[in-house]
Amino acid sequence: MKRILSIQSHVVFGCAGNSAAVFPMRRLGIEVWPVNTVQFSNHTQYSEGWQGMVMPKGHISQLMAGLANIGVLGRCDAVLSGYLGSAEQGEEILAAVTRLKALNPDALYFCDPVMGHPDKGCIVAPGVADFLKNRALPCADMLAPNLLELEQLTGREIHNLAEALAACQQLRDGGVKLVLVKHLGRAGFNLDSFEMLLVCDEGAYHIARPLYAMHRQPIGVGDLLSATMLANLVDGCDPVTAFELTNASVDAVLARTWLDQAGELQLVAAQDELAEPHVRTRATRL
Protein backbone atom coordinates (compact mmCIF):
# COMPACT_ATOMS: atom_id res chain seq x y z
CA MET A 1 0.00 0.00 0.00
CA LYS A 2 1.41 3.36 -1.08
CA ARG A 3 0.72 6.53 0.90
CA ILE A 4 0.34 10.17 -0.19
CA LEU A 5 0.17 13.19 2.10
CA SER A 6 -2.16 15.62 0.31
CA ILE A 7 -1.94 19.22 1.54
CA GLN A 8 -4.41 21.55 -0.17
CA SER A 9 -7.81 23.19 0.12
CA HIS A 10 -11.08 21.55 1.11
CA VAL A 11 -14.64 22.49 0.20
CA VAL A 12 -17.73 21.15 1.95
CA PHE A 13 -19.79 21.25 -1.26
CA GLY A 14 -18.39 20.35 -4.63
CA CYS A 15 -14.97 19.36 -5.85
CA ALA A 16 -11.81 21.40 -5.38
CA GLY A 17 -8.50 20.69 -3.70
CA ASN A 18 -8.66 17.66 -1.44
CA SER A 19 -12.36 17.33 -2.23
CA ALA A 20 -11.36 16.59 -5.83
CA ALA A 21 -8.20 14.64 -5.02
CA VAL A 22 -8.66 12.36 -2.01
CA PHE A 23 -11.48 10.15 -3.27
CA PRO A 24 -9.88 9.49 -6.70
CA MET A 25 -6.52 8.59 -5.15
CA ARG A 26 -8.19 6.25 -2.68
CA ARG A 27 -10.24 4.73 -5.49
CA LEU A 28 -6.95 4.05 -7.28
CA GLY A 29 -5.73 2.09 -4.26
CA ILE A 30 -3.63 4.75 -2.52
CA GLU A 31 -3.80 5.47 1.21
CA VAL A 32 -4.26 9.23 1.46
CA TRP A 33 -3.53 11.46 4.44
CA PRO A 34 -5.39 14.74 3.77
CA VAL A 35 -4.35 18.01 5.37
CA ASN A 36 -6.50 21.06 4.60
CA THR A 37 -4.98 24.50 4.02
CA VAL A 38 -8.43 26.11 3.99
CA GLN A 39 -11.96 24.91 4.66
CA PHE A 40 -14.57 26.70 2.57
CA SER A 41 -18.26 26.07 2.09
CA ASN A 42 -17.71 25.92 -1.69
CA HIS A 43 -15.04 26.91 -4.18
CA THR A 44 -14.28 30.58 -4.70
CA GLN A 45 -15.68 30.80 -8.21
CA TYR A 46 -19.32 30.77 -7.13
CA SER A 47 -20.73 34.23 -7.87
CA GLU A 48 -22.65 34.09 -4.59
CA GLY A 49 -19.37 33.91 -2.70
CA TRP A 50 -18.24 31.46 -0.04
CA GLN A 51 -17.78 31.10 3.70
CA GLY A 52 -15.01 29.48 5.70
CA MET A 53 -11.50 30.05 6.91
CA VAL A 54 -7.83 29.70 6.18
CA MET A 55 -6.18 27.31 8.61
CA PRO A 56 -4.05 29.21 11.13
CA LYS A 57 -0.29 29.49 11.15
CA GLY A 58 1.27 26.42 12.74
CA HIS A 59 -1.63 24.11 11.88
CA ILE A 60 0.29 22.07 9.29
CA SER A 61 3.41 21.93 11.45
CA GLN A 62 1.40 20.64 14.40
CA LEU A 63 -0.13 17.88 12.31
CA MET A 64 3.29 16.86 10.98
CA ALA A 65 4.65 16.75 14.51
CA GLY A 66 1.76 14.52 15.51
CA LEU A 67 2.45 12.11 12.63
CA ALA A 68 6.14 12.03 13.54
CA ASN A 69 5.34 11.40 17.21
CA ILE A 70 3.38 8.24 16.40
CA GLY A 71 6.11 7.03 14.05
CA VAL A 72 4.19 7.03 10.76
CA LEU A 73 5.51 10.04 8.87
CA GLY A 74 8.39 8.06 7.35
CA ARG A 75 5.92 5.62 5.81
CA CYS A 76 4.69 8.28 3.43
CA ASP A 77 5.75 7.91 -0.22
CA ALA A 78 4.91 11.36 -1.54
CA VAL A 79 3.65 14.82 -0.69
CA LEU A 80 1.13 16.53 -2.96
CA SER A 81 0.61 20.25 -2.41
CA GLY A 82 -2.06 22.42 -4.03
CA TYR A 83 -4.01 25.54 -3.11
CA LEU A 84 -2.40 27.50 -0.26
CA GLY A 85 -4.26 29.79 2.07
CA SER A 86 -1.10 31.78 2.80
CA ALA A 87 2.58 31.90 1.90
CA GLU A 88 3.36 30.93 5.52
CA GLN A 89 1.58 27.63 4.94
CA GLY A 90 3.94 27.02 2.05
CA GLU A 91 6.95 27.26 4.36
CA GLU A 92 5.32 24.71 6.66
CA ILE A 93 4.84 22.38 3.70
CA LEU A 94 8.49 22.67 2.70
CA ALA A 95 9.47 21.89 6.29
CA ALA A 96 7.23 18.82 6.13
CA VAL A 97 8.84 17.72 2.86
CA THR A 98 12.32 18.15 4.37
CA ARG A 99 11.30 16.20 7.46
CA LEU A 100 9.78 13.40 5.40
CA LYS A 101 12.76 13.08 3.07
CA ALA A 102 15.07 12.79 6.07
CA LEU A 103 13.02 9.76 7.12
CA ASN A 104 12.35 8.44 3.61
CA PRO A 105 14.88 9.66 1.01
CA ASP A 106 12.82 8.09 -1.79
CA ALA A 107 9.75 10.21 -1.00
CA LEU A 108 8.60 12.57 -3.75
CA TYR A 109 7.32 16.13 -3.65
CA PHE A 110 4.68 16.82 -6.31
CA CYS A 111 3.79 20.52 -6.41
CA ASP A 112 0.61 21.74 -8.07
CA PRO A 113 1.45 25.47 -8.18
CA VAL A 114 -1.97 27.09 -7.84
CA MET A 115 -1.20 30.75 -8.52
CA GLY A 116 -4.69 32.08 -9.10
CA HIS A 117 -6.72 33.25 -12.06
CA PRO A 118 -8.64 36.39 -11.00
CA ASP A 119 -10.56 36.56 -14.30
CA LYS A 120 -12.13 33.21 -13.43
CA GLY A 121 -12.59 33.99 -9.75
CA CYS A 122 -9.69 31.87 -8.53
CA ILE A 123 -8.00 34.01 -5.89
CA VAL A 124 -4.83 33.28 -3.93
CA ALA A 125 -3.45 35.16 -0.95
CA PRO A 126 -0.71 37.79 -1.34
CA GLY A 127 2.75 36.25 -1.46
CA VAL A 128 1.64 32.77 -2.57
CA ALA A 129 2.71 33.18 -6.21
CA ASP A 130 6.13 34.51 -5.14
CA PHE A 131 6.51 31.64 -2.68
CA LEU A 132 5.76 29.06 -5.35
CA LYS A 133 8.24 30.58 -7.79
CA ASN A 134 11.08 31.31 -5.40
CA ARG A 135 10.75 28.70 -2.66
CA ALA A 136 8.64 25.71 -3.75
CA LEU A 137 10.00 25.41 -7.26
CA PRO A 138 13.59 24.60 -6.22
CA CYS A 139 12.31 21.87 -3.87
CA ALA A 140 9.83 20.15 -6.20
CA ASP A 141 10.56 16.77 -7.78
CA MET A 142 7.48 17.05 -9.96
CA LEU A 143 5.44 20.05 -11.05
CA ALA A 144 1.99 20.40 -12.62
CA PRO A 145 1.36 23.97 -13.83
CA ASN A 146 -1.27 25.13 -16.27
CA LEU A 147 -0.12 27.43 -19.07
CA LEU A 148 -0.50 30.65 -17.06
CA GLU A 149 1.41 29.16 -14.13
CA LEU A 150 4.12 27.90 -16.48
CA GLU A 151 4.54 31.46 -17.75
CA GLN A 152 4.74 32.88 -14.23
CA LEU A 153 7.20 30.25 -13.02
CA THR A 154 9.57 30.75 -15.95
CA GLY A 155 9.08 34.45 -16.70
CA ARG A 156 8.24 33.60 -20.32
CA GLU A 157 5.38 34.40 -22.65
CA ILE A 158 4.21 31.17 -24.25
CA HIS A 159 2.22 31.13 -27.48
CA ASN A 160 3.03 27.75 -29.03
CA LEU A 161 4.21 24.26 -28.26
CA ALA A 162 7.88 24.99 -28.93
CA GLU A 163 7.83 27.80 -26.36
CA ALA A 164 6.02 25.55 -23.87
CA LEU A 165 8.68 22.86 -24.34
CA ALA A 166 11.44 25.41 -23.79
CA ALA A 167 9.75 26.58 -20.57
CA CYS A 168 9.45 23.00 -19.31
CA GLN A 169 13.09 22.36 -20.08
CA GLN A 170 13.98 25.51 -18.12
CA LEU A 171 12.21 24.02 -15.10
CA ARG A 172 13.98 20.70 -15.58
CA ASP A 173 17.33 22.46 -15.85
CA GLY A 174 16.52 23.93 -12.43
CA GLY A 175 16.08 20.46 -10.91
CA VAL A 176 12.44 19.47 -11.50
CA LYS A 177 12.41 15.88 -12.75
CA LEU A 178 8.95 15.84 -14.31
CA VAL A 179 6.71 18.64 -15.61
CA LEU A 180 3.06 18.03 -16.45
CA VAL A 181 1.45 21.00 -18.20
CA LYS A 182 -2.18 20.41 -17.29
CA HIS A 183 -3.73 22.57 -20.00
CA LEU A 184 -1.84 23.89 -23.02
CA GLY A 185 -4.66 26.16 -24.16
CA ARG A 186 -3.49 28.56 -26.84
CA ALA A 187 -0.06 26.85 -26.97
CA GLY A 188 -1.57 23.58 -28.16
CA PHE A 189 -2.42 22.30 -31.61
CA ASN A 190 -6.21 22.56 -31.43
CA LEU A 191 -8.33 24.86 -29.29
CA ASP A 192 -11.22 22.42 -29.68
CA SER A 193 -9.36 19.81 -27.59
CA PHE A 194 -8.02 19.72 -24.04
CA GLU A 195 -4.29 19.17 -24.55
CA MET A 196 -1.56 18.31 -22.06
CA LEU A 197 2.21 18.10 -22.19
CA LEU A 198 4.57 15.83 -20.26
CA VAL A 199 8.31 16.48 -20.12
CA CYS A 200 10.48 14.04 -18.18
CA ASP A 201 13.58 11.86 -18.52
CA GLU A 202 11.76 9.68 -21.05
CA GLY A 203 11.23 12.66 -23.35
CA ALA A 204 8.42 15.07 -24.24
CA TYR A 205 4.90 13.76 -24.86
CA HIS A 206 1.61 15.29 -25.96
CA ILE A 207 -1.92 13.99 -25.38
CA ALA A 208 -5.44 15.31 -25.88
CA ARG A 209 -8.99 14.58 -24.84
CA PRO A 210 -12.33 16.02 -25.97
CA LEU A 211 -13.67 19.32 -24.72
CA TYR A 212 -17.27 18.98 -23.57
CA ALA A 213 -19.87 21.70 -24.06
CA MET A 214 -20.72 22.34 -20.41
CA HIS A 215 -23.13 25.03 -19.38
CA ARG A 216 -20.48 25.89 -16.77
CA GLN A 217 -16.99 24.42 -16.81
CA PRO A 218 -16.49 22.49 -13.56
CA ILE A 219 -13.79 23.48 -11.11
CA GLY A 220 -11.24 21.03 -9.73
CA VAL A 221 -10.14 19.40 -12.99
CA GLY A 222 -6.54 20.46 -12.37
CA ASP A 223 -6.66 19.08 -8.83
CA LEU A 224 -8.04 15.81 -10.17
CA LEU A 225 -5.32 15.66 -12.83
CA SER A 226 -2.46 16.19 -10.39
CA ALA A 227 -3.83 13.70 -7.88
CA THR A 228 -4.47 11.00 -10.48
CA MET A 229 -1.05 11.48 -12.09
CA LEU A 230 0.76 11.21 -8.77
CA ALA A 231 -1.31 8.19 -7.70
CA ASN A 232 -0.40 6.37 -10.91
CA LEU A 233 3.28 7.25 -10.52
CA VAL A 234 3.44 6.18 -6.89
CA ASP A 235 1.66 2.96 -7.82
CA GLY A 236 4.59 2.07 -10.08
CA CYS A 237 3.57 3.27 -13.54
CA ASP A 238 6.23 4.78 -15.76
CA PRO A 239 5.55 8.47 -16.51
CA VAL A 240 4.13 7.95 -20.00
CA THR A 241 1.75 5.20 -18.90
CA ALA A 242 0.71 7.33 -15.92
CA PHE A 243 0.09 10.22 -18.32
CA GLU A 244 -2.15 8.11 -20.54
CA LEU A 245 -4.08 6.61 -17.62
CA THR A 246 -4.55 10.04 -16.07
CA ASN A 247 -5.90 11.47 -19.31
CA ALA A 248 -8.34 8.56 -19.64
CA SER A 249 -9.52 8.76 -16.03
CA VAL A 250 -10.14 12.49 -16.17
CA ASP A 251 -11.90 12.16 -19.52
CA ALA A 252 -14.24 9.56 -17.99
CA VAL A 253 -15.13 11.95 -15.15
CA LEU A 254 -15.67 14.88 -17.52
CA ALA A 255 -17.77 12.78 -19.87
CA ARG A 256 -20.04 11.71 -17.00
CA THR A 257 -20.24 15.31 -15.74
CA TRP A 258 -21.25 16.43 -19.24
CA LEU A 259 -23.84 13.69 -19.63
CA ASP A 260 -25.39 14.65 -16.29
CA GLN A 261 -25.11 18.38 -17.14
CA ALA A 262 -23.76 18.82 -13.62
CA GLY A 263 -21.99 21.91 -12.31
CA GLU A 264 -19.54 19.89 -10.20
CA LEU A 265 -17.30 16.97 -11.13
CA GLN A 266 -19.18 13.68 -10.91
CA LEU A 267 -16.45 11.70 -9.18
CA VAL A 268 -18.66 9.20 -7.43
CA ALA A 269 -20.85 8.51 -10.46
CA ALA A 270 -17.76 7.94 -12.62
CA GLN A 271 -15.69 6.08 -10.03
CA ASP A 272 -15.51 2.75 -11.86
CA GLU A 273 -14.29 4.33 -15.10
CA LEU A 274 -11.94 6.55 -13.11
CA ALA A 275 -10.35 3.58 -11.34
CA GLU A 276 -10.16 1.35 -14.42
CA PRO A 277 -10.03 3.72 -17.37
CA HIS A 278 -10.18 2.62 -20.98
CA VAL A 279 -7.18 4.25 -22.66
CA ARG A 280 -8.41 5.32 -26.09
CA THR A 281 -5.70 7.90 -26.75
CA ARG A 282 -1.98 7.24 -26.57
CA ALA A 283 0.60 9.90 -25.86
CA THR A 284 2.60 11.08 -28.85
CA ARG A 285 6.33 11.60 -28.48
CA LEU A 286 7.42 15.03 -29.70
Residue 88 among known ligand-binding residues: no
Pairing, β 78-81 against β 108-111: parallel
- The answer to whether 264 is a known ligand-binding residue is no
Is 45 one of the annotated binding-site residues? yes
Q: Is 223 annotated as a binding residue?
A: yes
195 is in an annotated binding site: no
- The answer to whether 9 is annotated as binding is yes
What is the β-pairing status of strands 203-210 and 284-285? Answer: antiparallel
The answer to the question of whether 112 is labelled as a binding residue is yes
Flag whether 149 is marked binding.
yes
Q: Annotated binding site for ATP, which residues?
A: 112, 144, 149, 182
The binding site consists of 9, 44-45, 112, 144, 149, 182, 223
Binding residues for substrate: 9, 44-45, 223
